[in-house]
Amino acid sequence: MCGIVGILGTKPVAVDLVDALRRLEYRGYDSAGVATVENGHLERRRAEGKLRNLSERLTREPLNGLAGIGHTRWATHGAPSERNAHPHMSENVSVVHNGIIENFRELKDELMRAGAVFASDTDTEVIAHLISYEMRKGADPVAATKNALARLRGAFALAIIFAGHDNLMIGAREGSPLAVGHGDGQMYLGSDAIALAPFTDQITYLDEGDWAILTREGVEIRDRQGRRVDRPKVTSQASGFLVDKGNHRHFMLKEIHEQPEVISHTLSNYMDMASGRVRFPDLGIDLAKVSRVTISACGTAYYAGLVAKYWLERYARIPVEIDVASELRYREAPLPENGLAVFVSQSGETADTLATLRYCKAAGQTIASVVNVRSSTIARESHVVLPTLAGPEIGVASTKAFTCQLAALACLALAMARARGQLSDERERELVKALLEVPRHMSTLLRDERRYDELAHWMSKSRDVLYLGRGLSYPLALEGALKLKEISYIHAEGYAAGEMKHGPIALIDENVPVVVVAPEDDLFEKTVSNMQEVAARGGRIVLVSNADPESIGCPVAAHVRMPQVHPFVSPIVYALPMQLIAYHTAVLMGTDVDQPRNLAKSVTVE
């Protein structure tokens, strides 16, 4: 996750901006920069690499402005370089940005026709030029920003300053977190309360769609319709050394809400968004000549691998073997020449997965690891690392790490499909576009969680819950059941929907909720027939679908309405309600959501 800091101060702010960014280094980054308002104009300093490079540049070329913004960046649009580092500027606007602007290409073409000259490869620069364009038409900075925000599509957090306005900063949130800090004659913006801890513990967290107009005298917050709204001021417990829950009750909920942002960063790591193509690292092996892919993982990571099996076989037309790590090596499975072995682990220290990696490596496989910790043992022992840019995940039950694993594996499937001649340029652009829309869809789903509170009230009274899905939804049924077991301690099982009649249907009665993961895809009608079998036996169906429940011909006890998404990305988007059903049920039952009994975040013993 990128880091954002903004300060309206009473003394030069550049050094404080860099110090605040250091508290966000745990998120990871490849470049950094700051910009300030200096004597009515904008100045900036940027540097590739670590913050010490930026500090050294500021020592040589100091900034003295009292208003400024700073940023640490993971490369998204454009390679990691100084020209692509934030802040980005037009003639009178400077902006820092987390997230993805989905429609940046259309906006960029329009702005270039209007005379804008772009100096970077990023989507962020579009925002600065768009606001400037509105100002040239006569709008003041606030009105120009409002007009520009209405035209942006995607998930983002923004901090914006303006030439000639050293007592004005605007922040905006749509799918990426942003907090306002309150000081004595000073005001702050930050993507995390940790960054603001040295300056203030009085924090206001922006809601989805909010944008904030800051002056040194205070803040005015407006919603996406432009109406003034009040958001509570809270006392933060953040320090410069601890990850903070922010305004969320649990780390798990915070991490669920971080998914639009972190998925954006993970996707951006593997894509050239300007061309709509996958930009994948060299695996040291000709993907066209891979004979088989072997995937191994444990727990939730295994279910991410199971989704990848469907993707790889369907789109790349390559055979895939998958097994839980604690079983694969003990089967002494024969491994082929020119084989690719993929290992999925949040921590990169999972003992069973590491042991199986070593087995496959000894058998001559090329090893690729999908990990969230690049310095981990699994990463170090792999030939190539495919990072998930989820940031630290504190909750034991994996949420954002899982969806970032899916994002990375989706890109692997597309890269392999292209290399094997199974993916046309047009089809690749279609699937890349679908992936880029995922953060926006997740952000929309997170706006209202009341449906999950209502659902939790009767789920929490159940002793058993079944989850059903077909095709790409089958691994999501398994993951949904695991989440509910992990944190609510309710017995739950996931099944392939077509397997119901082969035994599990005997469990159905009026006391058993049945959660059906059923996007309206090419398997939907078959899933409907399975729902009708459940309903005929008195089962209470919880339908998670974009379909109209009236169309399925049987009663539905509850409906989690989903957006219309491309079938390729449905596992990523549909993971969100699986997490929220489990979370709200566990909260109602009073369990320890972040540290459930008998479980550890990293399993380092067999």
CA 143 to chain centre: 30
- Residue 240 pLDDT class (50, 70, 90 cuts): very low
Write the DSSP symbol of residue 175: B
Which amino acid would we find at residue 194?
I
The model's confidence at residue 94, banded by pLDDT at 50, 70 and 90, is: very high
According to CATH, what is the number of the domain 279-421?
Answer: 3.40.50.10490
pLDDT mean over 312-340? 92
CATH topology classification for 3-247: Glutamine Phosphoribosylpyrophosphate, subunit 1, domain 1 (3.60.20)
For the ranges 21-30, 123-132, 203-212, 453-462, the lowest mean pLDDT is seen at 21-30
Closest among 538, 552, 317 to 413, alpha carbons compared: 317
pLDDT surpassing 70 at residue 160: yes
C-beta separation of 316 from 289 below 8 A: no
What would the pLDDT profile of 512-569 be if each residue is shown by its tens digit? 899 999 899 888 888 888 888 887 788 888 999 998 888 887 888 889 999 999 999 9
Q: Which amino acid, residue 459?
A: M
* Whole-structure pTM value: 0.78
Domain 3-247 matches domain 448-589 at the CATH topology level: no
- pLDDT of 93 strictly over 60: yes
The pLDDT confidence band at residue 284, using thresholds 50, 70 and 90, is confident
Domain 448-589 carries which CATH code?
3.40.50.10490
pLDDT in tens, 354-393: 889 999 999 999 999 999 887 788 888 999 999 998 888 8
Closest CA to 285 of 218, 221, 341: 341
**Catalytic positions, please?**
2, 601
Domain chopping of the chain, boundaries = 3-247, 279-421, 448-589
List residues bridging with 295 in a β-sheet: 322, 342
